[in-house]
Amino acid sequence: MKVFICDDESNELKNIEKAVAEYATVHLELLIEIKSFSNPYDLIEHIHKNGVPDIALLDICMPGVLGTEIAREIMSKSEESTDIIFLTTSSDFAVEAFSLHVSDYLSKPYTKERLTESLDRVMEKREKRIYVPIQCGKEIYRIELQNVLYAEAKNHIVEIHLKSGKCLRTRMPLIKLMELFKQLKGFALVGASYIVNFIYVQSLHHTTLEMTNGEKIPVPRRLRSELEIQYFDFYTEEATEK
């Protein structure tokens, strides 16, 4: 579990690092690795070279760049798999911060207990996520199933479309991919060429599924009734569980 901390105030940085280190000692099973940065540009450079963290604790008001800008940079590379907690003396950026769907926003000074509660909530949320490895050429990507809109088979290549707009290409057969996706409820095969995630189906028409990003997935007529039942059952079960 990689945790990155960024704050330009040295005392604040040490205090945050100490609190997270104590949290890591209590939760040895998480194998928390901490990296601290007093310069936000060093953090950005590290991310470009080594990848994004699982959790980022960011000050917002720093010289030359706002923590919200760093958060956007991280999110553009993490497919929303990084949980971000903002730590700041100012409430001026609260609206912008939450528009980024960050995990928490702590106003300084905050207590160690408040930070611990925030980390606990993040860890609890992360435990419910399901990640799968996808081989794309010579690289392997770890993707969160919740972020998959749909997959389409094209000429021996399967394109996996993510919520962020990114598209991954793999030679993994669609059927084998479906076996991976079954770990999360809501995925369905649509004909021989598509897998869709019902979470992102906006509407079901006579011959198409319309996704939340505006894409339309063709539905074979013979599968229309069966797909309607699956779609209805999924949302009925979701509503019941909530």
222-234 tens-digit pLDDT: 888 999 999 888 8
Query: Is residue 239 pLDDT above 60, yes or no?
Result: no
Q: For residues 123 and 15, state if they share a domain.
A: yes
pLDDT-based confidence at residue 240 (cuts at 50, 70, 90): low
Whole-structure pTM value: 0.67
Among 79, 111, 127, give the residue marking a domain's end: 127
Q: Which long-range contacts (CB under 8 A, 24 or more apart) does 121-126 make?
A: 122/55, 122/83, 122/85, 123/27, 123/30, 125/83, 126/54, 126/83
- The 10s digit of each residue's pLDDT in 153-189 is 998 999 999 987 889 999 999 999 999 999 888 999 9
Q: For residues 39 and 112, state if they share a domain.
A: yes
Q: For residues 122 and 148, state if they share a domain.
A: no
Q: For residues 102 and 197, state if they share a domain.
A: no
Task: Residue 50: give the domain boundaries.
Answer: 2-127
